[in-house]
Amino acid sequence: MRYNKAEIEAFAHETLTEGVCILRDHLPRQLLSKWHEAFLPLLRSHIDNEGELQNRGPGRFYVTLPFIAPFADEVVFTDPDVLGIVEKLVGADFTMVQLATDTPLLGSEFQALHRDAPPLFPEMKLESPPFQLAVNFPLVDVTIENGPFEVAMGTHMMAKDRALEAIETGEVALVPLLMQAGDLMIRDVRGIHRGTPNRTNEPRPMCVIGYSRKWLFRPEVSIRIPMHTWASLSPISKQMLRFNPRVESLDPNDGHELYQAFAY
């Protein structure tokens, strides 16, 4: 582990209070370069096959990553520092439920402000402790020009209407999160946020790994795991991935994205 117990506690506390923490220079850039090289053909294929399906907004594409090399990499999704923080936030025996990317291209726009999950108990007008986290890391450096993620800190624990009011009045600012390839963000998916325009000619892929409390099930989000990959996984990976479907092989024609309703 890179961080000690006190540092893990501090990152978890930051996420509990602000909704986000960032581990700087955490993943090897060489590893991310391999992901980037393998991702670009997937993005091109996705655009060719589902060019009209831009439910993340104009010029913005959500692409699930196939659970094969180089993406099925335990160095990334069983990182002990990340898992230590995740356990502090969503409890022991959590599950891994998502491995995907969000990529704005030239021509993308500001997204509407949104959350990635609804509250568990909307009738109560109160927010619960965390139940789902997104671990995000870019495959390229994120600058003001290529579409940084903007987040309103602390809004994960506000009712949505109250959070939007606070943003509108300037009580809470939208903060662009500039990251370098290698940086890694852990966030509560209820924090109000939006994607911003990519004004460059190069795609800006942001990976997302989803971790949830063990009882949370969202059928539109899952990871299809080939049996040969499953056989090679460590016990901790199998435990985290236990609720995902296992298949004999990945059908390259079965690429239709099911995760359509993403904004709450």
CATH code for the domain of 85: 2.60.120.620
> Domain for residue 107, yes or no?
yes
Write down the mean pLDDT value for the chain. 93
State yes or no: pLDDT of 258 exceeds 70: no
> Domain for residue 264, yes or no?
no
pLDDT, tens digit, 9 for 90 and up, residues 42-84: 999 988 876 555 568 889 999 999 999 999 999 999 999 999 9
Domain that holds residue 194: 5-49+58-247
pLDDT, tens digit, 9 for 90 and up, residues 232-256: 999 999 999 999 999 998 875 555 6
So what's the pLDDT on residue 134? Answer: 98
Given a contact cutoff of 8 angstroms between Cβ atoms, the answer to whether 164 and 113 are in contact is: yes
> Domain for residue 256, yes or no?
no
> Domain for residue 258, yes or no?
no
Q: What is the 3-state secondary structure (H, E, C) of 196-215?
A: CCECCCCCCCEEEEEEECCC
> Domain for residue 211, yes or no?
yes
> Domain for residue 263, yes or no?
no
DSSP character string of the chain: --S-HHHHHHHHHHHHHHSEEEETT-S-HHHHHHHHHHHHHHHHHHHHHSTT--TT-TTEEEEEPPSSTTTS-HHHHT-HHHHHHHHHHH-TT-EEEEEEEEEE-BT--PPPPB-SS--S-GGGT-PPSP-EEEEEEESS---STT--EEEETTGGGS-HHHHHHHHHHTSS-EEEE---BTBEEEEETTS-EE---B-SSS---EEEEEEE-TT---TT----EEHHHHHHS-HHHHHHTTTS-EESS--TT-----------
How much is the CA Rg of the chain, to the nearest whole Å? 18
Cα–Cα distance, 149 to 156 (Å, whole number): 16
pLDDT, tens digit, 9 for 90 and up, residues 128-167: 999 999 999 999 999 999 999 999 999 999 999 999 999 9
> Domain for residue 255, yes or no?
no
State yes or no: pLDDT of 260 exceeds 80: no
So what's the pLDDT on residue 259? Answer: 62
State yes or no: pLDDT of 205 exceeds 60: yes
> Domain for residue 68, yes or no?
yes
Question: What's the total number of domains in the chain?
Answer: 1
For residues 172 and 263, the model is more confident at 172
Given a contact cutoff of 8 angstroms between Cβ atoms, the answer to whether 156 and 116 are in contact is: no
What would the mean pLDDT of 84-111 be, rounded to a whole number? 96
Could you tell me the pTM of the whole model? Answer: 0.94
So what's the pLDDT on residue 221? Answer: 87
Given a contact cutoff of 8 angstroms between Cβ atoms, the answer to whether 177 and 148 are in contact is: yes
Residue 173's pLDDT band, with cuts at 50, 70 and 90, is: very high
So what's the pLDDT on residue 55? Answer: 64
* Residue that the structure tokens 């893990």 belong to: 8
